[in-house]
Copies of this chain bind each other. A is one copy, B any other.
Amino acid sequence: MAKTIMVLGGDGFCGWPTSLHLSDSGNDVVIVDNLSRRKIDVELEAESLTPIASIHSRIATWKDLTGKDISFENVDLANEYDRICDLLLRYKPDAIVHFAEQRAAPYSMKSADHKRYTVDNNVRATHNLLAALVDTETDSHLVHLGTMGVYGYGWAGKSVIPEGYLSVGLETNDGMEMKEILHPADPGSVYHMTKTLDQLMFAFYAKNDKIRVTDLHQGIVWGTQTPQTQLDERLINRFDYDGDYGTVLNRFLMQAAIGYPLTVHGTGGQTRAFIHIRDTVRCVELAIDNPPESGAKPMIMNQVTESHRVRDLASLISKLTGVEIQYLDNPRVEALENTLVVANDKFLALGLNPTTLSQGLMEEVRDIAGKYANRIDSSKIKSVSLWRRHLHDK
């Protein structure tokens, strides 16, 4: 059945293809976005490798091709509370997909101003939304994009990372009892920290006000196109490759496309969880179709399909392209080597059939990095964020 779905951050890398996918499925989609991601491109003097069209051109193209309407509202969720309330009252969304957060870990660590912007923007956007849902008595299902980074890697390798909640043994007066708790948080950047703050806000509002929340702890998203964004170049999705927003995989693809060595930070023994953008959009739809009960604690699902070591990704792309690998120091505060086994049973049970790296990577090498290699700005090859204060390193 058609739903009214508000996609916050619907102009972004995950938000745009999700909006098209949900529109294609017959839902009434409202994109709410303040275009902050495009403004950050201006700040960083960086651009998507793919030539993304303006949001109005994107929406007009979609209408031309499919006859389907997508609404657009330019609203700053962190700073325009009254307009959030107005949107909720006007559209009465069945579901709200919340991508509207600053989502780059390196960007969040660039300077005090970037840390503060990330905390302000992300905490305020989430909390304004929760307060507005209560304030306007709107009974929407809130589907939030979290991150695998909330879990940290402390216990990884010794146990499977569960889907949000951890069963632990607790010493009580009656002996050891098993309790289910929110998985302890261990974020590695200010950005990841904000998603751990989000979790606590969701837990409170679910308990106190019976807000229905699904939190999707997503891995690193790779891939650029979905069946909808491929219909026309004016619908093309972003491909970030700069030192702040480019994921490790995109940066390897960009480096390979111009014959620059693939730069691995540390030993490359860090294991990360991945998901293709085509699976992201399907997962979000599955989450929307399976809301938690009113009064239930937030439903948490791990939105990942496979895990790889960074050096194995480099090897894979090196083999596909013939470009060599270079090892550099690691600016992050993290273990050099870790394993990572992530439960993703919930989405598999809901019918997700993942796109694997081995199936989809050649398409990225050829149709994205190769095709748009002439647009690469080689000054963006290096990563520049410092990750910690100097004080104790002296």
Contacts and interface: CB of A to CB of B under 8 A. Distances in A.
Interface of A: 81, 111-112, 115-116, 119-120, 123-124, 127-128, 131-132, 134-135, 137, 139, 155, 158-159, 166-174, 176-177, 179, 181-182, 184-185, 187-188, 190, 193, 196-197, 200-201, 203-204, 207-210, 294-295, 333, 387-392
A210 to B, nearest CB: 5
B131 A389 contact: no
Given A112-B132, A116-B127, A119-B127, A172 B200 contact: no
A166 B170 contact: yes
B135 A158 contact: no
A386 to B, nearest CB: 10
A102 to B, nearest CB: 14
A391 B135 CA distance: 10
Nearest to A85: B112
A201 B207 contact: no
Contact of A158 (B172, B187, B188): B172
15 contacts: A81-B116, A112-B131, A116-B124, A119-B124, A137-B389, A155-B170, A167-B171, A168-B169, A169-B176, A182-B185, A185-B200, A196-B200, A200-B200, A209-B391, A210-B388
A188 to B, nearest CB: 8
A335 B140 CA distance: 27
A124 B131 CA distance: 17
- Copies, count: 2
A79 to B, nearest CB: 11
Contacts of A196: 200
Q: Which of A200, A387, A390, A392 has the most CB of B within 10 A?
A: A200
Nearest to A169: B169
A280 B43 CA distance: 47
A184 B170 CA distance: 12
A286 B185 CA distance: 29
A159 B185 contact: no
Nearest to A196: B200
A119 B134 CA distance: 15
Contact of A210 (B137, B170, B210, B392): B392
Given A116-B131, A137-B390, A207-B333, 5 more contacts: A185-B200, A193-B201, A193-B204, A209-B391, A209-B392
Given A112-B132, A123-B119, A391 B139 contact: yes
A115 B131 contact: yes
A194 to B, nearest CB: 9
A241 to B, nearest CB: 26
Contacts of A176: 169
B392 A294 contact: yes
Nearest to A114: B131
Contacts of A171: 159, 167
Nearest to A332: B208
Which 7 interchain pairs have the tightest Cβ spacing? A169-B169, A168-B168, A112-B135, A158-B172, A134-B389, A181-B184, A112-B131
A131 B389 CA distance: 10
A44 to B, nearest CB: 20
Contacts of A135: 111-112, 389
Nearest to A200: B196
A391 B137 contact: yes
A182 B179 contact: no
A356 to B, nearest CB: 25
A139 B158 CA distance: 35
A158 B210 CA distance: 26
A172 B159 contact: yes
